[in-house]
A and B are shown apart, each in its own frame.
Chain A
Amino acid sequence: MQATLEQAVKLGLREDEFEKLKEVLGRTPNFTETAMYSVMWSEHCSYKNSIKWLKTLPRDGDRLLVKAGEENAGLVDIGDGWACVFKIESHNHPSAIEPFQGAATGVGGIHRDIFTMGARPIASLNSLRFGEMDNAKTKHLLKGVVKGIGHYGNCFGVPTVAGEAYFESCYQTNPLVNAMSVGVVRVGQTASATSYGAGNPVFIVGASTGKDGIGGASFASADISENSAEKLPAVQVGDPFEEKKLLEACLEVLQTSAVIGMQDMGAAGITCSTSEMSAKGEHGMIIHLDKVPTRQANMKPWEMLLSESQERMLIVVKKGHEAEIQQIFDKWDIHCVQIGEVTTDKNLKYYMNGELVADVPAESMVLGGGAPVYEREYTTPKYLTEIAKFDINSVAIPADLRDIAYQLVQLPNIASKKWIYEQYDSMVGTGNTHTNAPSDAAVVRVHGTPKALAVTTDCNSRYVYADPYKGTMIAVSEAARNIVCSGGLPVGVTNCLNFGNPYNPEVYYQFVHAIKGMGAACEKFNTPVTGGNVSFYNQSEDGPVYPTPTIGMVGVLESLDQKMTLNFKKAGDLVYVIGTSHNDINCSEYLHHIQGVSLSPAPYFELEEEYKLQQTIQKLIGQKLVNSVHDVSEGGLFACLLESAMTNGLGFSVATDPSIRKDAWLFGEGQSRVVVSINPFIQQLFEAELKNIPHTKIGHVNATGEIHIDDVAWGYISDWKEAYDNALGNLVNS
């Protein structure tokens, strides 16, 4: 039966897309086919509104083993025959509706992207955004999301080693849940998401197919509204135990030489995996849907084709090796059922009980093939004029800065995220060195090698909102800075681009300029973008969220000896700021959440200066001239010093700079600054290395465990730590 335009529109296709679809097929598609295209041509799968700009990002580098977009995740050479696979992905809309399962399946999905390439995940990270903490809904979402991430990751057995959480009113209805996975694999042992060789059998393995998550990809491509809760079936349900077995079985299967290609089933399930693998291998497939193990009786063909049931994989196997594969999945008690075979004819033909229900060219469905590509218009957002009007002189310097600092370190954006991360297993895998020796990026050792990976996610979206170009450069720079400050060499980026509705020209302006800024910074740091995810439509009746281009970055340490930590080591050590402090409180937590000024420009930042700073830090760490290194970020210099002091309970005595407003010196978030502590005996040697870069000796580490600012006692580190550690938990429970 032919589909009608009305049906197509209801499924999420636009009128012109339905026309294009008729052209592609040379006939009017039936309902099943229309449903398949509606998902494959949704933003989530096709990147139709973003691909034009994504292609401008630097995507080449000496270390890249596959190009961005070619496989499920980026693959970067880390030397000595090892490679790292990593990717970040959003699960924003499901988490807004059902925070526990939404977040849990986000974690499950991103790990599958990693092990479908043959890599064993060794670290997870997440980047979260919620509304204000005084809102009951925020607490509900926060509790659910954190429990969901923990539930999946803890059981699956991959440590959650780092992440970020911010609280801003723009995320009230539309929280962001971005999950990143990092895995390692021997070079040459990776699997590819491809399919070829006529007659080769096609297997579905893992969980049974149910009605959950049908149309999830289309759902992710629409604004969140009151009616979204009615879309509950679009949220999938996760089973980390099944995925853990699937991981072990898939890695075992890849040790054989029986596999042609493998792809996980995420968005658009069977439709997406069959079409993407076939398009890549330039072959077709015959699929018998009646052979697919299902959770419920009488599922319709389109339901099976669109189901986003979790923990499933599609595997194309060399003919004659079926038994070998079957045996491994039997061992792990996992479904492994042949549902079709590869054909030379490049169409995908889906049958149900012998009846042909869909017949489509694989290539026509996918990104880079027949999926539509759009150029969207953009205009400069009006709010930027308001932002430019900000004048620092309109803000009075508070009389009691100690009290301001005490409030500041208890703001949920600054305070310890302990309430969150203690619910995650951060130590399984015995690779996370962060627990007992913290550094700016989490440093995770690679078992069987002397190497370690430094991993981080970063994005201060308030900066990006204030200046999409500069703000995104800052996000990339901070990620690189965190890795450099931990002793690593940044090698690659994955991005999760969370924006509002792309059909809004002001939102699209943010997107375009964010991409330009990201490109410029990634170019500078030689960190190609290996892949990622675009999440548009993050908006509600209240408007779009802050543009949030989350940067996930990976760096390499050739050995753990290169690692640098952030905590002060010894009383008497001298404390320096490397980089320049400015009379700048722009976009700071202090200005926004204490002074209540929500519109101000992005903080001071110059890419060239940042680059030079990072080169210097690398040199200082390499020459063992520094005892601790910690970058200045949210909360400014004061928060940075406090964080360095708290681990060992050592205090600090520092003097402010009289040429700068005291509030700016303490709480300003001007970029490209790093705090280091050094042994006084090597002061000369140390300073000799800093001839070409601004630096200031601001004080020393003290033994009394007290804070002294300009010789005024601000109390004991232990008391500040108590406040800092418990603030978020107190807010959750209040």
Chain B
Amino acid sequence: MKFGIIVFPGSNCDRDMMHALRDDLEQEVVMLWHKDKDLSMFTKDDCIVLPGGFSYGDYLRCGALARFSPMMEQVINFAKHGGKVLGVCNGFQILCESGLLPGVLLQNDHQKFVCKNVCIKSENNRNIIGQNVADKILKIPVAHGEGRYHADAATLEKLNKNNQVIFRYCDEHGEVHLHSNPNGAVNNIAGICNEGRNVFGMMPHPERASSSALHNIDGRLILQAFTN
């Protein structure tokens, strides 16, 4: 099993993801360049990661330009054939822009960038990504200006009904309420997956919580799920 991390111009969590997967989880990692268009070395056992950052400067709209890169065409194809894809923060925004995930990420309700530890809990463990988390409350950092997940009522209902919500923001006791929501995301949604349960997007950064040097390894439970 191996991970491929796509580097877009403006990606800035690509190296963090690499450190987390390679150094902390001791996994094989391949860095991929946005202008390349070859994913033939990746199989369904592998996982493609779209890291956080400001791809293409987030000009126009977060993630709106990255979806047109040559590599993203391949990723869309890879996902459509069942390949596993994880998008974190800007990566989540790109997945929504490219149609691999429903909904959109809007500017935070308080209009400010926010970077802090937040608590999230796994909605259900029927998804790969939640299988190690179980009922544990995870402390994972967020860092975004546009992380307010939004979808229309019909989409929301479908997401909830199909168990496609993978994480919700909660407080340290696991209570989900408005005060535990860092950006105004609808229904406290921190992350979702597609119907096929092979494409995952989340605003919190598990790669920032996977090294014991940083005194928080809650993120490993999320990333490790892909290595099984």
Contacts and interface: CB of A to CB of B under 8 A. Distances in A.
Given A245-B10, A422-B114, A427-B141, A433 B213 contact: yes
B10 A155 contact: yes
Of B10, B20, B52, most A-chain CB atoms within 10 Å: B10
Nearest to B215: A436
A241 B65 CA distance: 13
Contacts of A447: 19
Nearest to A150: B113
Interface stretch (B55-63, B71-79, B159-167): B55-63
B205 interface: yes
Contacts of A151: 113
Contacts of B10: 155, 241, 244-245
B115 A425 contact: yes
A433 B113 CA distance: 21
Interface in B39-59: 52-54, 56-59
B58 A427 contact: no
Contact of B141 (A244, A435, A560): A435
Contacts of B207: 430
A423 B54 contact: no
A428 B214 contact: no
Name B's interface SS. Answer: mixed
Interface string A30-55: 00000000000000000000000000
B199 to A, nearest CB: 24
Interface in A238-294: 239-242, 244-245
A600 interface: no
A154 B57 contact: no
A430 B18 CA distance: 11
A425 B214 contact: no
A422 B114 CA distance: 5
Contact of A427 (B9, B53, B59, B143): B143
A240 B58 CA distance: 11
Interface of B: 9-10, 12-13, 15-16, 19-20, 35, 52-54, 56-59, 112-117, 141, 143, 145, 205, 207-208, 211, 213-216
A430 B16 contact: yes
A332 interface: yes
A562 to B, nearest CB: 13
A333 interface: yes
Contacts of B216: 435-436
Contacts of A429: 15-16
Given A155-B58, A331-B35, 12 more contacts: A151-B113, A154-B145, A241-B10, A242-B57, A244-B12, A422-B112, A425-B115, A427-B143, A433-B213, A435-B117, A436-B214, A560-B213
Nearest to B114: A422
A499 B35 CA distance: 49
B157 to A, nearest CB: 33
A67 B163 CA distance: 62
A242 B56 CA distance: 9
Contacts of B213: 433, 445, 560
A423 B59 contact: no
B105 to A, nearest CB: 16
Given A423-B115, A425-B115, A430-B16, A155 B57 contact: yes
B9 A430 contact: no
Contacts of A536: none
30 contacts: A147-B113, A151-B113, A155-B12, A155-B54, A155-B57, A157-B53, A239-B57, A240-B54, A241-B59, A244-B9, A244-B12, A331-B35, A333-B9, A422-B114, A423-B113, A423-B114, A423-B115, A424-B113, A424-B115, A425-B113, A425-B115, A427-B115, A427-B208, A428-B16, A430-B19, A430-B207, A430-B214, A432-B214, A436-B117, A445-B213
B214 A433 contact: yes
Contacts of B52: 428
B214 A423 contact: no
Interface string A409-429: 000000000000011111111
Nearest to B219: A430
Nearest to A155: B54
A437 interface: yes
Given A154-B143, A239-B57, A244-B12, A435 B114 contact: no
A156 interface: yes
Given A155-B58, A433-B214, A436-B117, A427 B12 contact: no
Nearest to B10: A241
Contact of A241 (B15, B16, B54): B54
Interface in A560-581: 560
Nearest to A437: B215
A630 B215 CA distance: 20
Ranked 9 nearest A-B pairs via Cβ: A157-B12, A241-B57, A436-B215, A155-B54, A430-B16, A425-B143, A425-B115, A437-B215, A423-B113
Contacts of B114: 422-423
Contacts of A147: 112-113
B89 to A, nearest CB: 10
A211 B115 CA distance: 35
A422 B215 contact: no
A148 to B, nearest CB: 11
B57 to A, nearest CB: 3
Contact of B143 (A241, A428, A433): A428
Contacts of B115: 154, 422-427
A156 B59 contact: no
B5 to A, nearest CB: 14
Contacts of A437: 215
Contacts of B145: 154
